[in-house]
Structure 1
Amino acid sequence: MIPHASELEDLALHGVRVLGFPTTARVAGRFGLDRDAVEEMLLDAEACGWVQRLSFGGSSGWSLTDAGRAEGERRLAAELDALGARDVVADVHARFRPLNRRFGAACTDWQLRPTRLDPLASNDHTDWRWDERVLRTLRSVGDGFTGLCGELSGRLARFGGYAGLYAAALRRVDAGERGWVDGHDRDSLHLVWIQFHEDLLATLGVERGTDP
């Protein structure tokens, strides 16, 4: 079965939601699209009141409006139902949830290392046994994550790329570049994971925080 390729205008709008305050180039790069074509689609979406271009702190990017969020979910729902793939995505989401709990706990342990006197003490990464235990969990959930990504990308092409980005970040971590665990200025393990989660939620029309 050839994976379904989403429409350009749908990907442009969806990319703004999943990537969170991205530039046009970042949206285009994520889906392998022409930058000028994406810019045109986003300008059209801006005219419809679905996105807005914002600048602050020396950075600029696109942001989704409430109307744009609703429009994006409507488009994704129509696509999903037309493909008859809703049950497939819902099943992946159900199996992702326990992985997500393990991943979230591992990320907490990466940031915090409780002591007898301070249960919220920051992890200073001097205890290699503690950190290695966390990294083993991140590798383990990555195996399950890769499988789920493969199932989805076999039906919807836009889910392609997540597994490769996670694997690439994990290689950087294993090479000693620990900022690739949870850095927000790169495609870190944490950033790729939350983008995939947001993609699932948007596709199914599920509010974040309601799928514990």
Structure 2
Amino acid sequence: MSDSYLLALHALTLKQLSDVDGLVTIFGQDADDVKKALENAVAEGTAMAARDKYMITPAGRTVLDEAYPQWFAHERSDAEIGSAMESFETGVNKQVLSLTTAWQTVEVAGERQQNDHSDSSYDAKIIDKLGAVLDRTTTVLAPLTAAQPSVDRFLTRIADALTRAEDGELDYVSSVRIDSFHTVWFQMHEHILRITGRERDE
């Protein structure tokens, strides 16, 4: 996507509610370009603003839904990309969901309880497994990344979150308040679904 206006709207579908800086983080756009695009979107009714934060409107989603097929015509018709998405959905995405559950809860006497993260060995194993899944994801999504380099930006951000978790900042595994592994993974998933025209399974 080369149009700042449409790319800003697209970023809002991934971030839901965000200020300018939050949207800049997603695709690395120029902050002034993003701000101008959002101001135009608000004026046209495709986004709404409150306290320096923005949200896409139903009209904005309609604009994107009409634009996606042309933007991503190649990605939606390429058989190799289609196969990559199947592997992503049935493989690494399910593994991340399972590992996130394992991170947030532990089994005690046959029941799942909230993980208090007192067992550093247990946590380290989950983080190691997330790293292995991320490595596989890079390989799985290679055909899509070749067509849409923006996907690699998400993989880099996920890797950055994982590094921080490995260094002891455990919130970077799944906290929704920051760009954690799980938060950015969710954004990437939504991004590639919109590129390929697929629906979210879960």
TM class by shorter-chain length?
0.7 to 0.9
Matched, 1:6 2:11: no
Q: State the match for 2:75 in structure 1.
A: 85
What are the residue-to-residue correspondences of 1:26-41 with 2, within 5 Å?
26-41=22-37
Unaligned runs of 5+ in 2: none
Q: State the match for 1:139 in structure 2.
A: 131
2:167 counterpart letter in structure 1:
A
What are the residue-to-residue correspondences of 1:42-53 with 2, within 5 Å?
42-53=38-49
Moved more, 33-42 or 170-179: 33-42
Where 1:113 maps in the other structure, the secondary structure is strand
Cα drift, residue 89 of structure 1: 3.9
What are the residue-to-residue correspondences of 1:163-182 with 2, within 5 Å?
163-182=155-174
2:95 counterpart letter in structure 1:
R
Unaligned runs of 5+ in 1: none
Q: How far does the alpha carbon of each residue in 1:24-73 deviate from its partner, in whole angstroms, 9 at most, with x for none?
A: 22223432222222122122222332211134xxxx52111222123213
What is the distance in 2 between the residues matched to 1:89 and 1:166? 21
1:153 to 128, 145, 154: 145
Q: State the match for 1:99 in structure 2.
A: 92
Cα drift, residue 149 of structure 1: 4.8
Matched positions, count: 199
1:187 to 179, 182, 185: 179
Q: Work out whether residues 180 and 186 of structure 1, in 8 Å CA contact, stay in contact via their aligned partners in 2.
A: yes
Moved more, 165-174 or 99-108: 165-174
Q: State the match for 1:21 in structure 2.
A: 17
Name the CA shift for 1:205/1:66 in 2 (closer, same or farther; >3 Å).
farther
Q: Work out whether residues 73 and 203 of structure 1, in 8 Å CA contact, stay in contact via their aligned partners in 2.
A: no
Where 1:160 maps in the other structure, the secondary structure is helix
What is the distance in 2 between the residues matched to 1:14 and 1:181? 25
1:113 to 106, 109, 125: 106
Q: Report which structure shows greater RCO (CA 8 Å, sep ≥6).
A: 1
Q: How far does the alpha carbon of each residue in 1:106-157 deviate from its partner, in whole angstroms, 9 at most, with x for none?
A: 000111112116x231111222343233222211111022234543332123
Q: Alpha carbon RMSD of aligned pairs, Å?
A: 2.0
Where 1:21 maps in the other structure, the secondary structure is coil
2:75 counterpart letter in structure 1:
A
Name the CA shift for 1:184/1:205 in 2 (closer, same or farther; >3 Å).
same
What is the distance in 1 between the residues matched to 2:32 and 2:194? 25
Q: Work out whether residues 149 and 160 of structure 1, in 8 Å CA contact, stay in contact via their aligned partners in 2.
A: no
Matched, 1:127 2:123: no
Name the CA shift for 1:92/1:74 in 2 (closer, same or farther; >3 Å).
farther
